[in-house]
Structure 1
């Protein structure tokens, strides 16, 4: 007798209101991240000379490139959520369109996974960037103290 492995998926039923609220929360969080990206750009601009002169130029360049990729992905997610929000009409129009409603729910689940992945990567990127800037600030402070003596 052979055992067949199956994957059990539990799909939580979400009402249109729940999906709307989730989309609004995602938009809010991604717009905040968009503002943080502007802060990161300013931070990188401020510390450009230290980022270039340090011995880890290639590593720093990779982080800067990752910030740029993160910014692009964030913008794409914002646009995808806006389109997703506009398509919510399918769920609340009172007309039974089972295929369209199922596709919308599937799209919502996909967005949920994509945003969770993005936020995880973003948090890691943010930690790495702040670690580099923190190290640069420490080195500057040490140089300043040495120069004072």
Structure 2
């Protein structure tokens, strides 16, 4: 008798409450990021003359473009997560809709990946921006103390 190797695929089961809480958490984080992005834009305006210096210009341009792209992506994700949250009704309406529920769960899985990747990229942008501003602020302070 031949035995065949069977691979089991782990499928995480999401409860409606878990998905609701995750969506609320994403919205909270994304809303905070939106405010944080406004702060970064103000910070850039404060140091604009130092940031457009010839030695910083290319780096600054990339940071400003990344921040702008990040703001657009944040707005887009907020809309997507809000729509996803409104769609949760299919999971809690008491009607057995296997296909629609599976579509909703797959969308939730996709959003987990998309939001986490965005947050990871955004963290990198923040680090770059802070490092750049910190260097400029230190050199500005040093210049003023001379």
Mean Cα displacement is larger for which, 53-62 or 73-82?
A: 53-62
Map Cα deviations across residues 18-58 of structure 1 (whole Å, 9 max, x no partner). Answer: 10011001100110111100101110111111101141211
| Cα separation, partners in 2 of 1:29 and 1:9, compared to 1, 3 Å | farther
Give the 3-state SS of the residue equivalent to 1:139 in structure 2.
helix
Q: What is the number of residues matched between the two proteins?
A: 142
| Cα separation, partners in 2 of 1:105 and 1:38, compared to 1, 3 Å | same
| Cα separation, partners in 2 of 1:9 and 1:71, compared to 1, 3 Å | farther
- Poorly superposed stretches of 4+, deviation over 4 Å: 6-9
* Pairs within 5 Å for 1:1-149: 9-146=9-146
Give the 3-state SS of the residue equivalent to 1:53 in structure 2.
coil
Cα root mean square deviation, aligned: 1.6
Structure 2, gaps ≥5 residues long: 1-5
Structure 1, gaps ≥5 residues long: 1-5
Distance in 2 separating the partners of 1:8 and 1:67: 42
Superposition TM-score, scaled by structure 2 size: 0.92
